[in-house]
Chains A and B, each alone.
Chain A
Amino acid sequence: MKSNEEKEQRKKRLNENKHIITVGVILGLLLGAMLGYFVWFMVSERQETMARTENNRYDSAGTRVIRGDIITSDRVAIAYTQPGSTADEDVRVYPFHELFAPISGYTAMGRTGLEGAYHRTMMTTSLNFMEVFRNDLLNQRSMGDRVVMTIDSDLQYYCYTLLGEYNGSITVVDAETGRILAMVSKPTFDPNLVKEQWSELVSEDNKSGNLLNRSTQGLYSPGSTFKIVTAIEYMRENPETYRDFSYTCNGSITIGDHTVHCEGAHGTVNMESAMAYSCNGAFVTMGMTLDRGKYGELIKELGFGSKLIDELPSSKSTSTINRGTDDFEMMQTVFGQGQTMESPLQNVMITAMIANKGVMMKPFIVDHLEDANGIVTERTEPRELKQILTAEQVDYLNQLLTATVNYGTSPQAQSPYCQVAGKSGTAQYSSSLERTHAWFTAYAPAEDTTIAITIMLEQGGHGSPNAAPLASAIVNYLYERD
């Protein structure tokens, strides 16, 4: 009886207040949704926000952490911090001056290279709690984490001296994993002096591009090294008959109004001798039979138009080939001229793919991150990008590229220690025939793996006489140093 009455009263009150309750529900839902969003942000967006390049919150971390080192795979420090009494007095030292500058980057005027990409890593410490606690008690700063590269310091130094007076780049990768073993770019800068030389480095009169890592950011016409790509597409489109290809070269080939010249008349060639002698006429003949859409797709598949490497700033290689490409552009592209622009890293990835049984690997330059005591916190695992070639295609390409070195245009690349396979390139970069970039790309067995090399000499003349000997020297060095 009583409870009934109470219930009734309650109902009445509820009825009186239903409007206020509705207001409460609306406002409660608004604030509840906001709370939900806040928790969601903290749980799932937090890491992403922290990892943003705009993140400036680690700039003040120096009060408690000494910036970590960057070291090579053979544990040579190429960038370390000489601590001052406060973080402002710290000095970042690059003991090898120009040698690793394109990779390490700098910290003086903004941050680039690995200094930029791994800023957060080096400004935080993964040392265990007790050690950090002890340092805090003693009012000492803890050591930040270390970045360990895949670069071999001796090989890097050898390649650097090998380049000598040339401007350009040398890129050496382990074909089976994608590890970058050496990456040289010239002309470059001394990261110790960036602040002092800044106005000079970024001056509009400075045309030498010191701050450019030519291996990843430089884009050049690929010259005859691009014949490898044309050969791959021809083999794909004519799987039964490519071995029977034949062409008689009389020194030039004319299609419509356009004529492409060869260096002399090569006579009758098949695919092997066409590659070995770098016969433009044969490749134009092969190229004009290709499906332009599929050719463009292969070029994309090989990495053109994509970002190739995560750790360093890089430029995307470009190609204009598609279904609608006209004859002239196609004719120029198939032997490496035309609108195609390629970075040396892109070039070496294609060579490494052939050396790695047709599987393209993701290139990487940071092997792992570790704390100051050497305990690994994160390791880069080799990653397969794509199987591009069949075993049969790999064998035949290997035959073409060894022929090039053994009896073709590039005997300069031969090594007494092993069979080198490779292709030269001489890329016109202006209408004058004299002004050319020299390319050579090669692979060879070394120790227990296969290495791939791309040499690119700006205004370096011809590929075979100038660039190919450097490839041979690098292979010999790897055999002789042990």
Chain B
Amino acid sequence: MNHIIAQVMKYLLVLTMVGYTAGSFQILTVENPHRMRYAFYRQVVLVLLFHAFGFSVIMLHEQTLEILGMYLAELLFMLLYVIIFRLAYRNCSRVILSHVLMFLAIGFIMLTRINTAQSLKQLMMVLVFALITLIVPQMFKKEKTAVVWSWILGIFGLLLLMVVLVFSSRTYGANLTLELGVFSFQPSEFAKISFVLLIAAMFRYKHNFGVVLLTGIVALFHILILVASTDLGGAMIYAFAYLFMVYVATGRVFYLLGGTVVGAGAAAAAYFLFAHVRTRVAVWLDPWPLMSGKGNQVCNSLLGMASGGFMGTGLYQGSPKLIPIVQKDFIFSAIVEEMGAIIGICIILICVSCMLKFLQVACRLKHPYYRLIGVGMAAVYGIQVFLSIGGNIKFIPATGVTLPFVSYGGSSIGSTFILFVVMQELFIRNNGEEARKERLELEIERREGAEEKAAQRK
């Protein structure tokens, strides 16, 4: 019986997700504010439906009050978050807001199915960070305070990274985590945000060679610390984000090409220096002979996705738990196995649309400082999605990077919340009332000028 429910729900899940994804592209074409509001409500309803369909299978399978409580708490959270965020920031991007909800909903469903206890922990983290990050836009409202914050956070992030290098505990071959009582904390997750802020602040006034050199030193310092803690996935995110930021700040292709060459050289050096890089590359080239050892994750990920197919096996009908640490690094394969590749494709599309939206926000901004933050955040997000999903599907060697908002992990959730809320603030700068007023004034000026010209001609 449960099996049938899972089968029916799997089609409903795919249907709502496809509807949501199509809607998220349709919404970009909407200009009429009433229609916009309607489209946004539609998107939120689709997220809630998706969440409800997923949880109905979980509840039938687990049949505990705890699950029901979690479902209701999550539902309440999602509703409240939309309402409070919209109350606090009326001009925020509704597209980005609905995407946040969708990613969280998918994560909640998959994590609860894999490990209820961890899912509960995840929910707590989401609640805490959703609340804390509500104030972030305030910090970035005035440019001066924003720059001060950038410097403070940037230096603090760098210090944290150094601390972790010294007092770290090893998790899965990489020194990433700082144990604080019951909580473990991954500073590199937060430091990538502070890193972007710091670089943007440094490029605020000038972008001559001296500044490039200085930012280069700062970037190299970050990257070397990560390499020393053998977090090469993290190092790649920082390196790419820096490269794109320098390119946009200076407008010189030379930096982009030169940086790519240096990066390729560094990657080759890492291959020869680190044994675990070599094994990951070997697994990427042919994982099957290594299935009982280092290739276990990748092999099981491929087998899981293959057995799921386009429609998935249905929740609880697959075996995603065969992949070690599936809830962190391989959450995408778990989703594809049980919910289907169509949902996987939708997730990639939503991630791409998020990233493009970030870049669009950056384009519309005038001040180079904010523009650079936008570019940096978009790059961090895009590269992280690329490394995470690409590693899962064996497009590139696995680097152990989380999928933002979907994977399990408090640090990942926290940093992603900050990233998205900063982008909201940048969006509001464009579309906020002041910006609108400003634009209106410009428009009036332009028209008056035109009228004057016309009058003169007469």
- When distances are taken between beta carbons in the complex, the residues of chain B under 8 Å from A22 are 247, 256
Would B348 and A31 count as touching, CB distance under 8 A?
yes
Point out the residue from B4, B288, B383 that lies within 8 Å of A27, measured CB to CB: B383
- State which size class the interface on A falls in: 35 or more
- When distances are taken between beta carbons in the complex, the residues of chain A under 8 Å from B322 are 56-57
Would A23 and B309 count as touching, CB distance under 8 A?
no
* A119 on interface, CB distance cutoff 8 Å: no
How far is it, in angstroms, between the C-alpha of A149 and the C-alpha of B395 when the chains are bound? 41
- When distances are taken between beta carbons in the complex, the residues of chain B under 8 Å from A55 are 303, 307
A contact residues vs B (CB 8 Å cutoff): 2, 13, 17, 19-24, 26-28, 30-35, 37-39, 41-42, 45-47, 49-50, 52, 54-57, 59-60, 64, 133, 136-137, 139
- When distances are taken between beta carbons in the complex, the residues of chain A under 8 Å from B319 are 56-57, 59-60
Can you list 27 A-B pairs with a CB-CB distance of less than 8 A?
A19-B247, A20-B362, A22-B247, A22-B256, A23-B244, A23-B248, A27-B382, A27-B386, A30-B386, A31-B351, A31-B352, A32-B352, A35-B345, A38-B341, A38-B348, A42-B310, A42-B341, A46-B305, A50-B303, A54-B288, A54-B299, A56-B319, A56-B322, A57-B307, A64-B3, A133-B4, A136-B3
- When distances are taken between beta carbons in the complex, the residues of chain B under 8 Å from A31 are 348, 351-352, 355, 382, 385-386
How far is it, in angstroms, between the C-alpha of A434 and the C-alpha of B209 when the chains are bound? 91
How far is it, in angstroms, between the C-alpha of A258 and the C-alpha of B394 when the chains are bound? 60
- When distances are taken between beta carbons in the complex, the residues of chain A under 8 Å from B379 are 23, 27
Closest Cβ of chain B: how far from A300's Cβ, in Å?
A: 28
* B218 on interface, CB distance cutoff 8 Å: no
Most chain B beta carbons < 10 A, residue from A21, A27, A28, A45: A27
Q: Which 6 A-B pairs have the closest CB atoms?
A: A49-B306, A27-B382, A57-B307, A17-B363, A24-B359, A19-B248
* B344 on interface, CB distance cutoff 8 Å: yes
How far is it, in angstroms, between the C-alpha of A137 and the C-alpha of B8 when the chains are bound? 13
Known contacts A2-B450, A20-B363, A50-B303, then 10 further A-B pairs from the complex at CB < 8 Å, ordered by chain A residue: A17-B363, A20-B362, A20-B371, A23-B248, A28-B356, A31-B386, A34-B386, A34-B393, A38-B344, A42-B305
* B30 on interface, CB distance cutoff 8 Å: no
How far is it, in angstroms, between the C-alpha of A89 and the C-alpha of B319 when the chains are bound? 20
Would A27 and B355 count as touching, CB distance under 8 A?
yes
Would A42 and B251 count as touching, CB distance under 8 A?
no
Closest Cβ of chain A: how far from B245's Cβ, in Å?
A: 9
Beta-carbon contacts under 8 Å, B383-422 to A: 383, 385-386, 389-390, 393-395
Point out the residue from B318, B348, B349, B362 that lies within 8 Å of A57, measured CB to CB: B318
- When distances are taken between beta carbons in the complex, the residues of chain B under 8 Å from A49 are 302-303, 306
Q: Interface residues of B: mostly helix, strand, loop or mixed?
A: helix
Would B382 and A30 count as touching, CB distance under 8 A?
yes
Would B305 and A27 count as touching, CB distance under 8 A?
no
- When distances are taken between beta carbons in the complex, the residues of chain B under 8 Å from A27 are 244, 355, 359, 378-379, 382-383, 386
Would B375 and A52 count as touching, CB distance under 8 A?
no
Closest Cβ of chain B: how far from A255's Cβ, in Å?
A: 47
Closest Cβ of chain B: how far from A137's Cβ, in Å?
A: 7
Would A136 and B348 count as touching, CB distance under 8 A?
no
How far is it, in angstroms, between the C-alpha of A59 and the C-alpha of B357 when the chains are bound? 44
Point out the residue from A34, A45, A50, A136 that lies within 8 Å of B390, measured CB to CB: A34
* B65 on interface, CB distance cutoff 8 Å: no
Beta-carbon contacts under 8 Å, B352-388 to A: 352, 355-356, 359, 362-363, 371, 374-375, 378-379, 382-383, 385-386
- When distances are taken between beta carbons in the complex, the residues of chain A under 8 Å from B288 are 52, 54
Would B4 and A38 count as touching, CB distance under 8 A?
no
Would A45 and B345 count as touching, CB distance under 8 A?
no
Would A52 and B303 count as touching, CB distance under 8 A?
yes
Would B363 and A21 count as touching, CB distance under 8 A?
yes
Closest Cβ of chain B: how far from A190's Cβ, in Å?
A: 29
A20-B359, A31-B352, A139-B1 given; A42·B309 CB < 8 A: yes
Would B378 and A35 count as touching, CB distance under 8 A?
no
Would B395 and A34 count as touching, CB distance under 8 A?
yes
* B291 on interface, CB distance cutoff 8 Å: yes
Closest Cβ of chain B: how far from A401's Cβ, in Å?
A: 46
* B304 on interface, CB distance cutoff 8 Å: yes
The chain B residue sitting closest to A51, CB to CB, is B306
Would B305 and A35 count as touching, CB distance under 8 A?
no
A27-B382, A64-B3 given; A54·B359 CB < 8 A: no
Beta-carbon contacts under 8 Å, B265-323 to A: 288, 291, 299-300, 302-307, 309-310, 318-319, 322
How far is it, in angstroms, between the C-alpha of A60 and the C-alpha of B337 when the chains are bound? 14
- When distances are taken between beta carbons in the complex, the residues of chain B under 8 Å from A33 are 395
How far is it, in angstroms, between the C-alpha of A28 and the C-alpha of B244 when the chains are bound? 13
Would A23 and B385 count as touching, CB distance under 8 A?
no
How far is it, in angstroms, between the C-alpha of A439 and the C-alpha of B322 when the chains are bound? 49
Would B359 and A45 count as touching, CB distance under 8 A?
no
Beta-carbon contacts under 8 Å, B323-355 to A: 341, 344-345, 348-349, 351-352, 355
Would B359 and A23 count as touching, CB distance under 8 A?
yes
Beta-carbon contacts under 8 Å, B1-26 to A: 1, 3-4
- When distances are taken between beta carbons in the complex, the residues of chain B under 8 Å from A32 are 352
- When distances are taken between beta carbons in the complex, the residues of chain B under 8 Å from A45 are 306
Would A136 and B1 count as touching, CB distance under 8 A?
yes
